[in-house]
Amino acid sequence: MPSLANIAKVRVCSICTKKIEGDATECEDGHPAGRPSKEDSYFIELPLEPQLKMIIEENLSEIFGGCRKQVLECTEEASSYKDITDGTLYKNFYKEVHSESGDRTCCHLSLMISTDGAPVFKSIHCSIWPLYLCILELPSQKRYSVKNVLLIGLWYGVKKPKINSFLEGFLCKIGMLETEGLLVYNKWEDEFVTFKVHLHCCICDLPGKALLFLHKLYNGLFGCMVCFHPGVRLAIRGNVRVYPYAGDQYEMRTSEATRQHALLAQLSGTDVFGVKEFSVLHNYMSVPDGCPVDYMHCILQGTGKWILSAIVDSKNKDLAFFIDADTQRTINAKLQAIAVPHDMERKPRSLEYIKRWKATEMQHFLLYFGLPLLKGILDDDHFHHLAFLTTGLWIFLKNEISKEELALAGEIMRSFCRLMEPLYGERSETINVHSITHLEEQVKCLGPLWTHSAFAFEAMIAHTLTGFKGTR
């Protein structure tokens, strides 16, 4: 990662969030710039080509291997799902690319991008939004390591990034690399090779996706970016929208329709099926296919945590699923007595801290500890329901998922979602629970869930924050 200390930051207008160039006294739209203040937002663009070139050169033989596999396998449907490159999004894209004559002279790389807001300074409500990128043709064990993930941009300030100005410079470079390509020296053959790139998918939590693609948030009408479920607004205090289980009643969104809706929203000035405006990203990747549900936020920090919090919350003491204080103490004692293998970095913490559990703690609980600990404590209905979530997730996260297993996991997860309301009430039918119904199709499109989750970028965020604080 290049040092952040030597990189120019661009100030952003506090009214329209467009650039204020150098010492200019006004922004591109003519708003007065005023004196720099703590309330300002900035963005930093980091060099893309040199970083990309370095990673390609360092991993050249493996990248060539990935590119060869891409050409050889793009025309055949995967018999099972082992990686993101077995998904239909990848195969269909390259089937088209490699059928065009003349395109065999260069190699093609697919990029995954990710962004998420992280708070930086305790004193003010300032957050950073780093933009990361990784190369899918690298083998999965190397793809997500801190060494091979690029930091290509950073937004910081009190306001959230305005996406069209945040991404403009980066997407312009991507456009160049898509058509012209990047020349990389191949020391083995003493020749230059052209690499063309394209944006394959984007990993974010729900607010991040809404921000990037200028879609309404999930508490708004048509807040699901995958299908046309409008949601139902609950008649309680606050703006709570739920997505009651509806089987296949609502159609899936297609990338073509989403693009049309975005264009229409831009022209008319009103939102169309939840799409508020045209995002520049629509020109570079397909939505919803390339913009998947992140299971780390959806299941681990979302639905899994929701259920576990509900069953230990004394507000629910009169409900069937509630676990009383004495039983909770017994579970906590058992949980903390578990001797974990060395590759599980965290020892299990007591359920008292459930709100602060990290995603990995939740993953370990759901996949390994939860069912044995809760057997005989939760009633059968709630226990089997939780077992659906564990089993479905376990299959979606396998290293290799057969088509039969995937269909089974889809069925199990749909049962889980359908039973949510009868077991936990109408408020439990959150967007996260609804999103689980989309995961089977998502695995077909993008491979096992671990290949496209925010876990890949978690270590990077800590790394970036350390570097960032050092430059202030």
Nearer to Zn ion among residue 27 and residue 46 (C-beta):
27
Nearest approach, Cβ of residue 216 and Zn ion (Å):
13
Distance, C-alpha 463 to centroid of its chain: 18
Nearest approach, Cβ of residue 165 and Zn ion (Å):
10
Q: What is the dihedral of CA 351, 355, 356, 362, to 10 degrees?
A: 70
Nearer to Zn ion among residue 57 and residue 411 (C-beta):
411
| Strands 191-203 and 107-115, bridge-based pairing | parallel
> What is the spatial distance between Cα 467 and Cα 370, in angstroms, rounded to a whole number?
37
318: left (phi over 0), alpha (psi -120 to 50) or beta: alpha
Distance, C-alpha 273 to centroid of its chain: 22
Nearest approach, Cβ of residue 430 and Zn ion (Å):
12
The answer to whether the CB of 369 falls within 8 A of the CB of 344 is: no
- Intra-chain end-to-end CA distance of the chain, in Å: 17
67: left (phi over 0), alpha (psi -120 to 50) or beta: alpha
Nearer to Zn ion among residue 165 and residue 464 (C-beta):
165
Nearer to Zn ion among residue 229 and residue 276 (C-beta):
229
> What is the spatial distance between Cα 117 and Cα 41, in angstroms, rounded to a whole number?
13
The answer to whether the CB of 300 falls within 8 A of the CB of 450 is: no
Nearer to Zn ion among residue 13 and residue 135 (C-beta):
13
The answer to whether the CB of 357 falls within 8 A of the CB of 349 is: yes
The answer to whether the CB of 54 falls within 8 A of the CB of 61 is: no
Q: Which residues bind Zn ion (CB under 5 A)?
A: 13, 15-16, 18, 27, 29, 31, 224, 226-227, 229
Nearest approach, Cβ of residue 30 and Zn ion (Å):
7
CA angle 441–73–106, rounded 5-degree value: 115
Nearer to Zn ion among residue 206 and residue 374 (C-beta):
206
Nearer to Zn ion among residue 229 and residue 382 (C-beta):
229
Nearest approach, Cβ of residue 26 and Zn ion (Å):
8
Nearest approach, Cβ of residue 41 and Zn ion (Å):
12
Nearest approach, Cβ of residue 49 and Zn ion (Å):
30
Nearer to Zn ion among residue 373 and residue 436 (C-beta):
436
Nearest approach, Cβ of residue 84 and Zn ion (Å):
21
Nearest approach, Cβ of residue 128 and Zn ion (Å):
22
Give the Cβ contact number of residue 119 at 10 Å.
Answer: 11
Nearest approach, Cβ of residue 248 and Zn ion (Å):
11
Nearer to Zn ion among residue 29 and residue 411 (C-beta):
29
Nearest approach, Cβ of residue 12 and Zn ion (Å):
8
Nearer to Zn ion among residue 226 and residue 436 (C-beta):
226
Q: Nearest Cα to 46, choosing from 92, 82, 3? A: 3
Nearer to Zn ion among residue 18 and residue 159 (C-beta):
18
